[in-house]
Amino acid sequence: MSAVPAITVKVLSGGMAGLMKEFRDREQVLIGRDPDADVRLHPTEDAMAGRRHARLFWNGEQWRIESLHERGLFAAGTVQPAECAVRDGVVYRLGASGPEFRISILDAAVQATTRFEAGDAGTLTPLRRAEFHTAELRESVRRESRRAVRWVPAALAGVAILCAAGLLWLRGSGGNAGVSAAEIRERFRSSVFRAAVTVRFRCIHPDVGQDDFARYWVEHGSAFVVAVAGEWTYALTNHHVFGGPVRPETGGSAIRVRQLAQRLLERWPLDWPAFAAKLAEFEGMRAAAGSDRTKLGEIDDAYRAYLAEVAESCEFDANDADWRQIVVAGEFVRADVLDELPAQDVVLFRFRTPGSPPLPAPLRVLTEADGAVLGGRTVHILGYPSVGDLPLKRSADARTGAPDVASGVLSNIKRDDQHGGVSIQSSAPINSGNSGGPLFDDRGEVIGINTWGPSKADAEGVSYSIGLRDAVSLLTGRGLSLTRP
Protein backbone atom coordinates (compact mmCIF):
# COMPACT_ATOMS: atom_id res chain seq x y z
CA MET A 1 0.00 0.00 0.00
CA SER A 2 1.30 3.45 -0.93
CA ALA A 3 1.92 6.13 1.69
CA VAL A 4 -1.03 8.51 2.05
CA PRO A 5 -0.21 11.87 0.38
CA ALA A 6 -1.10 14.95 2.40
CA ILE A 7 -3.90 17.09 0.98
CA THR A 8 -5.38 20.55 1.54
CA VAL A 9 -8.99 21.60 1.04
CA LYS A 10 -9.58 25.33 0.46
CA VAL A 11 -13.14 26.67 0.48
CA LEU A 12 -13.52 29.28 -2.29
CA SER A 13 -17.10 30.48 -1.92
CA GLY A 14 -20.03 30.48 0.46
CA GLY A 15 -20.19 31.26 4.16
CA MET A 16 -16.78 29.72 4.92
CA ALA A 17 -14.88 31.20 1.94
CA GLY A 18 -11.16 31.39 2.70
CA LEU A 19 -11.10 28.42 5.08
CA MET A 20 -8.19 26.07 4.30
CA LYS A 21 -7.38 22.83 6.10
CA GLU A 22 -4.42 20.49 5.67
CA PHE A 23 -4.72 16.75 6.34
CA ARG A 24 -1.72 14.51 6.92
CA ASP A 25 -1.82 10.80 7.70
CA ARG A 26 -5.57 10.81 7.18
CA GLU A 27 -7.39 8.35 4.96
CA GLN A 28 -10.81 10.02 5.03
CA VAL A 29 -12.08 13.62 5.03
CA LEU A 30 -15.77 14.54 5.34
CA ILE A 31 -17.10 17.80 3.80
CA GLY A 32 -20.48 19.29 4.71
CA ARG A 33 -22.52 21.30 7.21
CA ASP A 34 -22.52 18.61 9.88
CA PRO A 35 -20.82 19.72 13.14
CA ASP A 36 -18.62 16.60 12.92
CA ALA A 37 -17.46 17.28 9.33
CA ASP A 38 -13.69 17.67 8.87
CA VAL A 39 -14.31 20.62 6.53
CA ARG A 40 -17.36 22.19 8.15
CA LEU A 41 -19.40 24.58 6.01
CA HIS A 42 -21.62 27.35 7.32
CA PRO A 43 -24.85 25.89 8.76
CA THR A 44 -27.12 28.53 7.19
CA GLU A 45 -25.24 30.45 4.48
CA ASP A 46 -24.27 27.17 2.77
CA ALA A 47 -27.79 25.74 2.78
CA MET A 48 -27.39 24.32 -0.75
CA ALA A 49 -24.74 21.92 0.63
CA GLY A 50 -25.75 18.78 2.48
CA ARG A 51 -24.82 18.07 6.08
CA ARG A 52 -22.64 15.21 4.86
CA HIS A 53 -22.25 16.13 1.21
CA ALA A 54 -18.91 14.66 0.06
CA ARG A 55 -16.21 12.31 1.29
CA LEU A 56 -12.54 12.20 0.32
CA PHE A 57 -10.88 8.85 0.95
CA TRP A 58 -7.57 7.08 0.25
CA ASN A 59 -8.11 3.65 -1.33
CA GLY A 60 -4.52 2.50 -0.98
CA GLU A 61 -3.43 3.83 -4.37
CA GLN A 62 -5.06 7.23 -4.88
CA TRP A 63 -7.30 9.86 -3.34
CA ARG A 64 -10.92 9.57 -4.47
CA ILE A 65 -13.99 11.74 -3.92
CA GLU A 66 -17.50 10.41 -3.33
CA SER A 67 -20.79 12.31 -3.41
CA LEU A 68 -23.02 11.48 -0.42
CA HIS A 69 -25.88 13.82 -1.33
CA GLU A 70 -28.62 13.78 -3.97
CA ARG A 71 -27.50 17.18 -5.32
CA GLY A 72 -24.19 15.64 -6.38
CA LEU A 73 -20.81 17.13 -7.21
CA PHE A 74 -19.89 19.43 -10.09
CA ALA A 75 -16.59 20.45 -11.69
CA ALA A 76 -16.32 23.00 -14.52
CA GLY A 77 -20.13 23.11 -14.66
CA THR A 78 -20.40 19.35 -15.29
CA VAL A 79 -21.88 16.83 -12.89
CA GLN A 80 -19.32 14.29 -11.66
CA PRO A 81 -19.75 10.53 -11.18
CA ALA A 82 -20.90 9.34 -7.76
CA GLU A 83 -17.26 8.36 -7.11
CA CYS A 84 -14.15 9.37 -9.03
CA ALA A 85 -10.42 10.02 -8.64
CA VAL A 86 -9.41 13.37 -7.17
CA ARG A 87 -7.76 15.69 -9.69
CA ASP A 88 -5.14 17.91 -8.15
CA GLY A 89 -6.01 21.61 -8.24
CA VAL A 90 -9.52 21.12 -9.63
CA VAL A 91 -12.35 23.27 -8.24
CA TYR A 92 -15.36 21.21 -7.17
CA ARG A 93 -18.85 22.53 -6.38
CA LEU A 94 -21.34 20.95 -3.98
CA GLY A 95 -24.51 20.72 -6.06
CA ALA A 96 -25.31 22.97 -8.99
CA SER A 97 -25.20 26.18 -6.93
CA GLY A 98 -23.50 25.32 -3.64
CA PRO A 99 -20.09 26.35 -2.26
CA GLU A 100 -16.89 25.60 -4.18
CA PHE A 101 -13.60 24.19 -2.90
CA ARG A 102 -10.20 23.30 -4.33
CA ILE A 103 -8.28 20.12 -3.44
CA SER A 104 -4.47 20.14 -3.61
CA ILE A 105 -2.34 17.01 -3.17
CA LEU A 106 0.83 18.23 -1.50
CA ASP A 107 3.28 15.33 -1.57
CA ALA A 108 5.67 14.99 -4.50
CA ALA A 109 4.65 11.39 -5.16
CA VAL A 110 1.12 12.21 -6.17
CA GLN A 111 -1.28 9.95 -8.01
CA ALA A 112 -1.03 9.68 -11.78
CA THR A 113 -4.48 11.20 -12.37
CA THR A 114 -3.56 14.66 -11.09
CA ARG A 115 -3.46 17.82 -13.13
CA PHE A 116 -2.90 21.52 -12.43
CA GLU A 117 -5.20 24.47 -12.92
CA ALA A 118 -4.47 28.17 -12.83
CA GLY A 119 -5.10 29.61 -9.38
CA ASP A 120 -3.61 30.24 -5.99
CA ALA A 121 -0.41 28.22 -5.55
CA GLY A 122 0.73 30.08 -2.44
CA THR A 123 0.03 27.18 -0.06
CA LEU A 124 2.10 24.58 -1.97
CA THR A 125 5.58 23.38 -1.05
CA PRO A 126 8.47 24.99 -3.00
CA LEU A 127 8.88 21.91 -5.21
CA ARG A 128 5.15 21.67 -5.91
CA ARG A 129 4.93 25.44 -6.47
CA ALA A 130 7.63 25.21 -9.13
CA GLU A 131 5.78 22.32 -10.77
CA PHE A 132 2.53 24.30 -10.57
CA HIS A 133 3.94 27.39 -12.28
CA THR A 134 5.71 25.26 -14.90
CA ALA A 135 2.37 23.68 -15.74
CA GLU A 136 0.73 27.12 -15.90
CA LEU A 137 3.46 28.38 -18.26
CA ARG A 138 3.14 25.32 -20.48
CA GLU A 139 -0.63 25.75 -20.67
CA SER A 140 -0.22 29.47 -21.46
CA VAL A 141 2.11 28.66 -24.38
CA ARG A 142 -0.37 26.11 -25.76
CA ARG A 143 -3.24 28.57 -25.41
CA GLU A 144 -1.41 31.38 -27.21
CA SER A 145 -0.33 28.99 -29.99
CA ARG A 146 -3.88 27.86 -30.58
CA ARG A 147 -5.07 31.47 -30.58
CA ALA A 148 -2.50 32.46 -33.21
CA VAL A 149 -3.56 29.60 -35.50
CA ARG A 150 -7.24 30.31 -35.14
CA TRP A 151 -7.40 34.06 -35.70
CA VAL A 152 -8.13 33.90 -39.46
CA PRO A 153 -11.13 31.51 -39.28
CA ALA A 154 -12.33 33.36 -36.17
CA ALA A 155 -12.33 36.65 -38.10
CA LEU A 156 -14.26 35.07 -40.97
CA ALA A 157 -16.72 33.56 -38.50
CA GLY A 158 -17.19 36.99 -36.94
CA VAL A 159 -18.14 38.46 -40.30
CA ALA A 160 -20.61 35.62 -40.85
CA ILE A 161 -22.19 36.22 -37.43
CA LEU A 162 -22.66 39.91 -38.13
CA CYS A 163 -24.27 39.17 -41.48
CA ALA A 164 -26.61 36.55 -40.02
CA ALA A 165 -27.56 38.80 -37.12
CA GLY A 166 -28.31 41.64 -39.54
CA LEU A 167 -30.58 39.43 -41.63
CA LEU A 168 -32.47 38.24 -38.56
CA TRP A 169 -32.88 41.78 -37.32
CA LEU A 170 -34.32 42.90 -40.65
CA ARG A 171 -36.60 39.85 -40.81
CA GLY A 172 -38.00 40.04 -37.28
CA SER A 173 -41.11 42.17 -36.79
CA GLY A 174 -40.25 44.71 -39.42
CA GLY A 175 -36.82 45.41 -37.96
CA ASN A 176 -37.77 46.33 -34.36
CA ALA A 177 -35.17 46.05 -31.59
CA GLY A 178 -36.92 43.16 -29.80
CA VAL A 179 -39.16 42.74 -26.77
CA SER A 180 -38.12 44.91 -23.82
CA ALA A 181 -37.69 43.79 -20.22
CA ALA A 182 -40.77 45.78 -19.20
CA GLU A 183 -42.87 44.04 -21.89
CA ILE A 184 -41.63 40.62 -20.73
CA ARG A 185 -42.59 41.38 -17.14
CA GLU A 186 -46.02 42.73 -18.05
CA ARG A 187 -46.88 39.91 -20.46
CA PHE A 188 -45.74 36.98 -18.30
CA ARG A 189 -46.01 38.27 -14.72
CA SER A 190 -48.97 35.93 -14.10
CA SER A 191 -47.10 32.97 -15.62
CA VAL A 192 -44.09 32.90 -13.27
CA PHE A 193 -44.58 31.71 -9.69
CA ARG A 194 -42.62 31.44 -6.50
CA ALA A 195 -41.84 27.77 -5.82
CA ALA A 196 -41.28 26.87 -2.17
CA VAL A 197 -40.18 23.88 -0.10
CA THR A 198 -42.27 24.10 3.07
CA VAL A 199 -42.82 22.24 6.32
CA ARG A 200 -45.54 22.16 9.01
CA PHE A 201 -43.81 22.77 12.29
CA ARG A 202 -44.56 23.65 15.92
CA CYS A 203 -42.56 24.08 19.11
CA ILE A 204 -43.85 23.74 22.69
CA HIS A 205 -40.72 24.88 24.54
CA PRO A 206 -41.61 27.59 27.12
CA ASP A 207 -39.11 30.03 25.59
CA VAL A 208 -40.88 29.77 22.23
CA GLY A 209 -44.46 29.07 23.14
CA GLN A 210 -45.78 28.11 19.72
CA ASP A 211 -48.28 25.30 20.31
CA ASP A 212 -50.13 25.27 16.95
CA PHE A 213 -48.88 23.84 13.69
CA ALA A 214 -47.92 26.50 11.15
CA ARG A 215 -46.43 26.19 7.68
CA TYR A 216 -42.96 27.59 7.13
CA TRP A 217 -40.84 27.67 4.02
CA VAL A 218 -37.15 26.80 4.10
CA GLU A 219 -36.10 26.99 0.45
CA HIS A 220 -37.45 28.81 -2.56
CA GLY A 221 -37.00 29.34 -6.28
CA SER A 222 -39.12 30.16 -9.32
CA ALA A 223 -41.29 28.19 -11.77
CA PHE A 224 -43.08 29.02 -15.03
CA VAL A 225 -46.20 27.80 -16.83
CA VAL A 226 -45.75 25.87 -20.08
CA ALA A 227 -49.22 24.41 -20.73
CA VAL A 228 -52.84 24.63 -19.55
CA ALA A 229 -55.19 21.68 -20.05
CA GLY A 230 -58.61 21.99 -18.43
CA GLU A 231 -58.42 21.96 -14.64
CA TRP A 232 -54.65 21.46 -14.62
CA THR A 233 -51.84 23.91 -15.26
CA TYR A 234 -48.37 22.48 -16.03
CA ALA A 235 -45.10 24.16 -15.08
CA LEU A 236 -41.33 23.62 -14.99
CA THR A 237 -38.67 24.33 -12.39
CA ASN A 238 -35.22 23.06 -11.37
CA HIS A 239 -34.87 19.78 -9.55
CA HIS A 240 -32.63 21.44 -6.97
CA VAL A 241 -35.51 23.80 -6.13
CA PHE A 242 -38.04 21.01 -5.46
CA GLY A 243 -35.52 18.39 -4.31
CA GLY A 244 -35.06 20.27 -1.06
CA PRO A 245 -34.01 19.42 2.49
CA VAL A 246 -37.36 18.28 3.88
CA ARG A 247 -38.16 15.49 1.43
CA PRO A 248 -40.47 13.04 3.25
CA GLU A 249 -39.00 9.59 3.79
CA THR A 250 -40.85 6.28 3.62
CA GLY A 251 -44.11 6.53 5.52
CA GLY A 252 -44.59 10.23 4.90
CA SER A 253 -42.44 11.49 7.80
CA ALA A 254 -39.92 14.30 7.41
CA ILE A 255 -36.19 13.80 7.95
CA ARG A 256 -35.10 13.42 11.55
CA VAL A 257 -37.06 15.92 13.61
CA ARG A 258 -34.25 17.12 15.86
CA GLN A 259 -31.83 17.87 13.01
CA LEU A 260 -34.39 19.81 10.99
CA ALA A 261 -35.75 21.61 14.05
CA GLN A 262 -32.29 22.78 15.05
CA ARG A 263 -31.64 24.02 11.52
CA LEU A 264 -34.90 25.97 11.55
CA LEU A 265 -34.14 27.43 14.96
CA GLU A 266 -30.72 28.65 13.83
CA ARG A 267 -32.46 30.80 11.18
CA TRP A 268 -35.60 31.67 13.11
CA PRO A 269 -37.17 35.16 13.03
CA LEU A 270 -37.14 36.48 16.59
CA ASP A 271 -40.89 36.37 17.13
CA TRP A 272 -40.93 35.29 20.78
CA PRO A 273 -39.51 37.58 23.51
CA ALA A 274 -38.08 34.87 25.78
CA PHE A 275 -36.37 33.04 22.93
CA ALA A 276 -35.09 36.29 21.42
CA ALA A 277 -33.76 37.40 24.81
CA LYS A 278 -31.90 34.11 25.23
CA LEU A 279 -30.24 34.41 21.82
CA ALA A 280 -29.35 38.05 22.56
CA GLU A 281 -27.75 36.85 25.80
CA PHE A 282 -25.48 34.51 23.83
CA GLU A 283 -24.55 37.33 21.47
CA GLY A 284 -23.59 39.49 24.44
CA MET A 285 -21.45 36.70 25.86
CA ARG A 286 -19.64 36.35 22.51
CA ALA A 287 -18.96 40.08 22.39
CA ALA A 288 -17.60 40.05 25.95
CA ALA A 289 -15.32 37.09 25.15
CA GLY A 290 -13.55 39.09 22.45
CA SER A 291 -10.86 36.95 20.80
CA ASP A 292 -10.57 34.40 23.63
CA ARG A 293 -10.95 31.20 21.63
CA THR A 294 -11.45 29.04 24.70
CA LYS A 295 -14.36 31.13 25.98
CA LEU A 296 -15.85 31.44 22.49
CA GLY A 297 -15.76 27.67 22.12
CA GLU A 298 -17.50 27.21 25.47
CA ILE A 299 -20.16 29.77 24.51
CA ASP A 300 -20.77 28.08 21.16
CA ASP A 301 -21.11 24.70 22.87
CA ALA A 302 -23.67 26.18 25.28
CA TYR A 303 -25.52 27.83 22.38
CA ARG A 304 -25.79 24.55 20.46
CA ALA A 305 -26.89 22.74 23.60
CA TYR A 306 -29.65 25.30 24.11
CA LEU A 307 -30.86 24.95 20.53
CA ALA A 308 -30.82 21.18 20.90
CA GLU A 309 -32.91 21.50 24.07
CA VAL A 310 -35.48 23.65 22.26
CA ALA A 311 -35.38 21.34 19.24
CA GLU A 312 -36.32 18.38 21.44
CA SER A 313 -39.71 20.00 22.00
CA CYS A 314 -40.35 20.63 18.29
CA GLU A 315 -42.69 18.50 16.21
CA PHE A 316 -43.53 18.12 12.52
CA ASP A 317 -46.70 17.06 10.78
CA ALA A 318 -45.76 13.47 10.03
CA ASN A 319 -48.36 13.04 7.28
CA ASP A 320 -47.84 16.32 5.44
CA ALA A 321 -47.96 15.68 1.68
CA ASP A 322 -47.96 19.36 0.72
CA TRP A 323 -44.31 20.19 1.32
CA ARG A 324 -43.74 21.32 -2.30
CA GLN A 325 -45.89 24.34 -3.10
CA ILE A 326 -46.16 27.42 -5.30
CA VAL A 327 -47.70 30.80 -4.53
CA VAL A 328 -50.76 31.58 -6.71
CA ALA A 329 -52.74 34.79 -6.15
CA GLY A 330 -51.25 35.18 -2.70
CA GLU A 331 -52.02 31.64 -1.53
CA PHE A 332 -49.93 28.50 -1.23
CA VAL A 333 -51.05 25.81 -3.69
CA ARG A 334 -49.87 22.21 -3.71
CA ALA A 335 -47.52 21.26 -6.56
CA ASP A 336 -47.97 17.68 -7.78
CA VAL A 337 -44.68 16.52 -9.26
CA LEU A 338 -45.18 14.41 -12.40
CA ASP A 339 -41.64 13.84 -13.66
CA GLU A 340 -38.21 14.40 -12.12
CA LEU A 341 -34.89 14.41 -13.99
CA PRO A 342 -32.29 14.97 -11.21
CA ALA A 343 -29.24 14.70 -13.49
CA GLN A 344 -30.76 17.23 -15.92
CA ASP A 345 -31.99 19.42 -13.01
CA VAL A 346 -35.58 19.52 -14.37
CA VAL A 347 -38.95 18.94 -12.69
CA LEU A 348 -42.37 18.93 -14.40
CA PHE A 349 -45.32 19.49 -12.06
CA ARG A 350 -48.95 20.50 -12.21
CA PHE A 351 -51.39 22.45 -10.05
CA ARG A 352 -55.06 23.34 -10.17
CA THR A 353 -55.77 26.01 -12.78
CA PRO A 354 -56.71 29.26 -11.02
CA GLY A 355 -59.77 31.34 -11.92
CA SER A 356 -57.78 33.33 -14.48
CA PRO A 357 -55.69 30.79 -16.41
CA PRO A 358 -52.07 31.93 -16.78
CA LEU A 359 -50.51 32.47 -20.20
CA PRO A 360 -48.18 29.59 -21.18
CA ALA A 361 -44.77 30.79 -22.29
CA PRO A 362 -43.69 29.95 -25.88
CA LEU A 363 -40.78 27.47 -25.85
CA ARG A 364 -37.82 27.29 -28.20
CA VAL A 365 -35.30 24.44 -28.17
CA LEU A 366 -31.80 25.68 -29.02
CA THR A 367 -28.83 23.82 -30.42
CA GLU A 368 -25.14 24.63 -30.26
CA ALA A 369 -25.33 26.10 -33.78
CA ASP A 370 -27.73 28.82 -32.55
CA GLY A 371 -24.88 30.40 -30.62
CA ALA A 372 -23.44 31.88 -33.82
CA VAL A 373 -26.71 33.73 -34.47
CA LEU A 374 -27.86 34.64 -30.95
CA GLY A 375 -24.48 35.61 -29.45
CA GLY A 376 -24.57 39.24 -28.33
CA ARG A 377 -28.40 39.40 -28.27
CA THR A 378 -30.32 40.62 -25.23
CA VAL A 379 -31.89 38.04 -22.90
CA HIS A 380 -34.20 38.51 -19.90
CA ILE A 381 -34.80 36.49 -16.74
CA LEU A 382 -38.05 36.60 -14.80
CA GLY A 383 -38.30 35.27 -11.25
CA TYR A 384 -38.15 35.86 -7.51
CA PRO A 385 -34.53 36.56 -6.58
CA SER A 386 -33.29 36.47 -3.00
CA VAL A 387 -30.47 38.64 -1.71
CA GLY A 388 -27.82 36.55 0.01
CA ASP A 389 -29.02 33.64 2.10
CA LEU A 390 -32.81 33.45 2.24
CA PRO A 391 -34.02 33.75 5.86
CA LEU A 392 -36.64 31.34 7.06
CA LYS A 393 -40.06 32.90 6.65
CA ARG A 394 -43.59 32.26 7.71
CA SER A 395 -45.87 31.38 4.84
CA ALA A 396 -47.65 34.76 4.93
CA ASP A 397 -44.38 36.54 4.13
CA ALA A 398 -44.18 34.76 0.77
CA ARG A 399 -47.61 35.73 -0.54
CA THR A 400 -46.94 39.18 -1.93
CA GLY A 401 -44.91 40.70 -4.71
CA ALA A 402 -44.59 40.28 -8.47
CA PRO A 403 -41.65 38.64 -10.24
CA ASP A 404 -38.59 40.76 -10.97
CA VAL A 405 -37.06 41.07 -14.42
CA ALA A 406 -33.36 41.49 -15.20
CA SER A 407 -31.51 41.60 -18.50
CA GLY A 408 -28.12 40.67 -19.88
CA VAL A 409 -26.36 39.56 -23.04
CA LEU A 410 -26.17 35.99 -24.33
CA SER A 411 -22.47 35.17 -24.71
CA ASN A 412 -22.26 31.48 -25.53
CA ILE A 413 -24.25 28.31 -26.20
CA LYS A 414 -22.33 25.11 -25.52
CA ARG A 415 -23.35 21.56 -26.25
CA ASP A 416 -24.32 19.78 -23.04
CA ASP A 417 -26.11 16.50 -23.65
CA GLN A 418 -26.74 16.03 -19.95
CA HIS A 419 -28.35 19.38 -19.20
CA GLY A 420 -31.08 19.93 -21.78
CA GLY A 421 -28.92 19.56 -24.88
CA VAL A 422 -27.13 22.89 -24.42
CA SER A 423 -25.82 25.14 -21.65
CA ILE A 424 -26.61 28.83 -22.22
CA GLN A 425 -24.14 31.36 -20.84
CA SER A 426 -25.20 34.98 -20.32
CA SER A 427 -24.58 38.05 -18.20
CA ALA A 428 -28.17 38.11 -16.86
CA PRO A 429 -27.84 38.05 -13.03
CA ILE A 430 -29.21 34.78 -11.65
CA ASN A 431 -29.57 34.84 -7.85
CA SER A 432 -30.64 31.83 -5.83
CA GLY A 433 -34.35 32.65 -5.99
CA ASN A 434 -34.23 32.89 -9.80
CA SER A 435 -33.41 29.20 -10.09
CA GLY A 436 -36.11 27.38 -12.02
CA GLY A 437 -37.44 30.51 -13.74
CA PRO A 438 -37.47 31.20 -17.49
CA LEU A 439 -34.75 32.76 -19.66
CA PHE A 440 -36.38 34.77 -22.48
CA ASP A 441 -34.76 35.85 -25.73
CA ASP A 442 -35.47 39.25 -27.25
CA ARG A 443 -38.55 37.89 -29.08
CA GLY A 444 -40.33 36.88 -25.89
CA GLU A 445 -39.59 33.14 -26.29
CA VAL A 446 -38.32 30.97 -23.45
CA ILE A 447 -34.99 29.44 -24.45
CA GLY A 448 -33.79 28.06 -21.12
CA ILE A 449 -34.36 27.32 -17.43
CA ASN A 450 -32.25 29.51 -15.14
CA THR A 451 -29.97 27.31 -13.06
CA TRP A 452 -27.02 29.01 -11.39
CA GLY A 453 -25.18 32.31 -11.28
CA PRO A 454 -21.65 33.41 -10.39
CA SER A 455 -20.12 32.58 -7.03
CA LYS A 456 -17.48 34.72 -5.31
CA ALA A 457 -14.79 32.68 -7.06
CA ASP A 458 -16.29 33.02 -10.53
CA ALA A 459 -15.87 35.78 -13.07
CA GLU A 460 -18.38 38.54 -12.46
CA GLY A 461 -21.52 38.52 -14.56
CA VAL A 462 -21.47 34.91 -15.77
CA SER A 463 -24.69 32.92 -15.33
CA TYR A 464 -25.94 29.66 -16.79
CA SER A 465 -29.30 28.35 -17.97
CA ILE A 466 -30.07 24.87 -19.30
CA GLY A 467 -31.70 24.16 -22.65
CA LEU A 468 -35.25 22.87 -23.05
CA ARG A 469 -34.67 19.66 -25.02
CA ASP A 470 -35.42 17.25 -22.16
CA ALA A 471 -38.15 19.44 -20.66
CA VAL A 472 -40.03 19.57 -23.97
CA SER A 473 -39.68 15.78 -24.28
CA LEU A 474 -41.45 15.40 -20.92
CA LEU A 475 -44.28 17.63 -22.05
CA THR A 476 -44.81 16.04 -25.48
CA GLY A 477 -44.58 12.61 -23.87
CA ARG A 478 -47.69 13.47 -21.88
CA GLY A 479 -49.52 14.71 -24.98
CA LEU A 480 -49.57 18.33 -23.88
CA SER A 481 -50.11 21.08 -26.44
CA LEU A 482 -47.24 23.57 -26.30
CA THR A 483 -47.05 27.19 -27.32
CA ARG A 484 -44.55 27.36 -30.15
CA PRO A 485 -42.61 30.43 -31.38
Q: Among 321, 348, 371, where does a domain finish?
A: 321
pLDDT for position 219: 65
Inform me whether the pLDDT recorded for 118 exceeds 50.
Answer: no
Over pLDDT 90: what percentage of the chain? 21
225 falls in which pLDDT band (50, 70, 90)? very high
User: Do 45 and 104 belong to one domain?
Assistant: yes
**234 lies in some domain:** no
Inform me whether the pLDDT recorded for 77 exceeds 50.
Answer: yes
pLDDT for position 120: 36
334-352 average pLDDT score? 88
47-70 average pLDDT score? 89
Q: Among 115, 144, 160, where does a domain finish?
A: 115
Inform me whether the pLDDT recorded for 175 exceeds 50.
Answer: no
Laid out side by side, the sheet with 63-67 consists of 39-40, 28-32, 54-58, 63-67, 83-85
Inform me whether the pLDDT recorded for 57 exceeds 90.
Answer: yes
Angstrom distance (rounded) from CA 406 to CA 426? 12
pLDDT, tens digit, for every residue of 317-331? Answer: 755 677 788 888 777
**17 lies in some domain:** yes
User: Do 314 and 343 belong to one domain?
Assistant: no
Structural domain that includes position 452: 181-192+326-477
Strand partners, 87: none
pLDDT for position 348: 93
User: Do 366 and 427 belong to one domain?
Assistant: yes
User: Do 454 and 425 belong to one domain?
Assistant: yes
Inform me whether the pLDDT recorded for 121 exceeds 60.
Answer: no
pLDDT for position 9: 93
pLDDT for position 279: 83
**300 lies in some domain:** yes
Lowest mean pLDDT of 114-123, 336-345, 405-414, 459-468, name the range: 114-123
**375 lies in some domain:** yes
Inform me whether the pLDDT recorded for 416 exceeds 70.
Answer: yes
User: Do 355 and 286 belong to one domain?
Assistant: no
**173 lies in some domain:** no
If you average pLDDT over each of 40-54, 212-226, 245-259, 261-275, which comes out highest?
Answer: 40-54
Please state whether the predicted TM-score (pTM) of the whole model is above 0.95.
no
84-88 average pLDDT score? 89
pLDDT for position 208: 76
User: Do 272 and 338 belong to one domain?
Assistant: no
Inform me whether the pLDDT recorded for 197 exceeds 80.
Answer: no
User: Do 265 and 378 belong to one domain?
Assistant: no
pLDDT for position 58: 93
pLDDT for position 93: 92
pLDDT, tens digit, for every residue of 19-38? Answer: 888 888 889 999 998 888 89
Lowest mean pLDDT of 2-6, 116-120, 476-480, name the range: 116-120
User: Do 352 and 418 belong to one domain?
Assistant: yes
User: Do 362 and 441 belong to one domain?
Assistant: yes
pLDDT for position 2: 61
User: Do 469 and 364 belong to one domain?
Assistant: yes
Q: What is the CATH number of the domain that holds 382?
A: 2.40.10.10
403-422 average pLDDT score? 84
Q: Among 321, 352, 382, where does a domain finish?
A: 321
pLDDT for position 440: 95
pLDDT, tens digit, for every residue of 285-305? Answer: 989 998 888 899 899 889 888
pLDDT, tens digit, for every residue of 425-439? Answer: 998 888 778 889 999
**154 lies in some domain:** no
Domain count of the chain?
Answer: 3
pLDDT for position 434: 85
